[in-house]
Amino acid sequence: MKKEIKFLCNNEIKEISVKPGTPLLDVIRNDLRLTGTKEGCKEGDCGACTVIIGELNGDDIIYKTINSCLFPVAEIAGKHLVTIEGIQKEQLTKVQELFLEEGASQCGFCTPGFIVSITGHLLSGAEVETSTLTDSVAGNICRCTGHISIKRVIERFSDWAETKINEDENRINELIRLSLIPEYFAGVKEELIKMSSGVVGIRKQTKGTTKVAGGTDIYVQQSEGVTDYVLEILNENIPEQKIEIADGSLKISGLTTMSEIENSKMISETFPAIKEYLKYFGSRQIRNRATAGGNIRNASPIGDFSNILLALGAKLEITSSTKTREIELENFFISYKTVDCAEDETINKIIIQLPGPDFKMNFEKVSKREYLDIASVNSALFAIMNNNKINKVRISAGGVAPIPLYLKQTSAELKNKEINPETIKKAASVAMEEISPISDARGSKEYKRLLLRQLIYLHFIKLFPNDIRAEELI
């Protein structure tokens, strides 16, 4: 079932006939024969296949980096695909020049991915400073340099950009002026508008389909299989409508990406800590695609976002063509990868009741590598105090049960208690009764038990530094 797909590939309009579920990477390398984009792992863990996707959003083009190995080609229709070949100018760009000067490219295989990630970051309009630039390549792995010289590139580029990039100027014009992208970018918007009238819609498929939101899990699990699936692509592009506050609740569309959550003003005003936690969820490329609903529906026992939502007491609004219902998130997870969600249903909204200003929350995650890794154990705590007593509390834990776990008894144990070492130790021991970890590549079950205890301790040590000191617990 091949489909005609039309899009702007770098500076050229392309029309290809291809199975809609084919990973974009395969199309780039095999059909378009653009070999600068590399296959490194085909599971979003190395960044060698990073490309930039631009799409119209009102009067703007939104550019973001993605892992092309996890992206169904169908979704490229009507968009601007930018590969390493599409950011070449006669002269090297400043980013490329610095890679040369610092010796930050050795074998050269991962290099295009790094250049694209950084250029994509610039195109995204995000702040340009050392920390954000570092974050933009946190999903790119270089095995030769150990990233030390790449870090120097970023530091030098950040210094250079500070004097050159003016936050107020139109970013595309500015990047062209600074020779960081080729001139053709100036005409891309017009091309996309022209094309949008003629784009063949393959958004909604009919029955017998596999639903794909961000695709960042299904393409990892079934890379070769997805190509042949009939996909129902759920993605939509209306970021400003995805998150709203209504009826005293924060409502997040199931299709909201992690990056959109990160950048949401509403979320940073209501739960400012979440933005910080998100740095440890996947990479920039993954967060640009992974959705809140996907994270929940996927039901991975160590899903980071599910974990936070469990602590926040979130509810889900689930819809099908015939009805809409609500369910507490903690009741949504039934057993390993089994959820209370029929095949024709999707997670429409995630609803979090606004707690008022005086709440405390903390999220902890431990993995072999701090960034872009799957947790051995994660845990979140949400609490509201009444003087020195815990009025309301919810603790969650991931990686210790077949499902993302709301620690019901532990939370009950803590209610109305004063914060002191005995209370916390007691709560941790209750938690030990609630969990059933297994041994796997992320750690032995004994380790996961001890680690959860430590993370519960850490919640209190961090949130109540005046009441609790580490020495009193360990």
Instruction: Please tell me the distance from the alpha carbon of residue 271 to that of residue 274, in angstroms, as a whole number.
Output: 6
State which residue, 131 or 416, has the beta carbon closest to another protein: 131
Least separation in angstroms between CB 154 and another protein: 8
Least separation in angstroms between CB 313 and another protein: 26
Query: What residues form DSSP beta bridges with 319?
Result: 324, 346
Instruction: Please tell me the distance from the alpha carbon of residue 118 to that of residue 457, in angstroms, as a whole number.
Output: 38
Least separation in angstroms between CB 461 and another protein: 7
Least separation in angstroms between CB 470 and another protein: 4
Residues 313-372 that bind another protein (CB under 8 A): 364, 366-372
Q: Which residues contact 444 (CB under 8 A, 6 or more apart)?
A: none
Least separation in angstroms between CB 473 and another protein: 9
State which residue, 33 or 265, has the beta carbon closest to another protein: 33
Residues 164-203 that bind another protein (CB under 8 A): none
For the window 81-100, what string marks contact with another protein as x by the rule CB under 8 A? --xxx--x---x---x--xx
C-beta neighbour count of 4 within 10 angstroms: 11
Residues 215-274 that bind another protein (CB under 8 A): 220, 223-224, 227-228
* Separation of first and last alpha carbons in the chain: 61
Going by C-alpha positions, the residue among 152, 137, 147, 158 that lies closest to residue 102 is 152
- Residue 24 found at the interface with another protein (CB under 8 A): no
Is residue 436 within 8 A of residue 456, CB to CB? The reply is: no
State which residue, 147 or 394, has the beta carbon closest to another protein: 147
What is the per-residue burial (b if ≥16 Cβ within 10 Å, else e) of 267-280? beebbeebeebbbb
Residues 365-404 that bind another protein (CB under 8 A): 366-374, 376
For another protein, how many residues bind (rule: CB under 8 A)?
86
Is residue 370 within 8 A of residue 280, CB to CB? The reply is: yes
State which residue, 14 or 189, has the beta carbon closest to another protein: 14
| Backbone CA torsion sign across 46, 52, 56, 58 | positive
- Residue 151 found at the interface with another protein (CB under 8 A): yes
Q: Which stretch binds another protein (CB under 8 A): 25-33, 330-338, 404-412, 423-431?
A: 25-33
C-beta neighbour count of 376 within 10 angstroms: 23
- Residue 105 found at the interface with another protein (CB under 8 A): yes
Q: Which residues contact 23 (CB under 8 A, 6 or more apart)?
A: 42, 68, 69, 70, 71, 72, 73, 219, 223, 226, 227
Among 52, 126, 141, 233, binds another protein (CB under 8 A): 141
Least separation in angstroms between CB 20 and another protein: 15
Instruction: Please tell me the distance from the alpha carbon of residue 473 to that of residue 418, in angstroms, as a whole number.
Output: 15
Among 158, 327, 447, 463, binds another protein (CB under 8 A): 447
State which residue, 38 or 394, has the beta carbon closest to another protein: 38
Question: What's CA 270's distance to the chain center, in Å?
Answer: 20
Residues 44-73 that bind another protein (CB under 8 A): 45-46, 48
Residues 30-49 that bind another protein (CB under 8 A): 30, 33, 35-43, 45-46, 48
Residue 359, token pair as written in the block: 């709440």
Among 451, 452, 460, 468, binds another protein (CB under 8 A): 451
For the window 106-135, what string marks contact with another protein as x by the rule CB under 8 A? xxxxxxx--x------------------x-
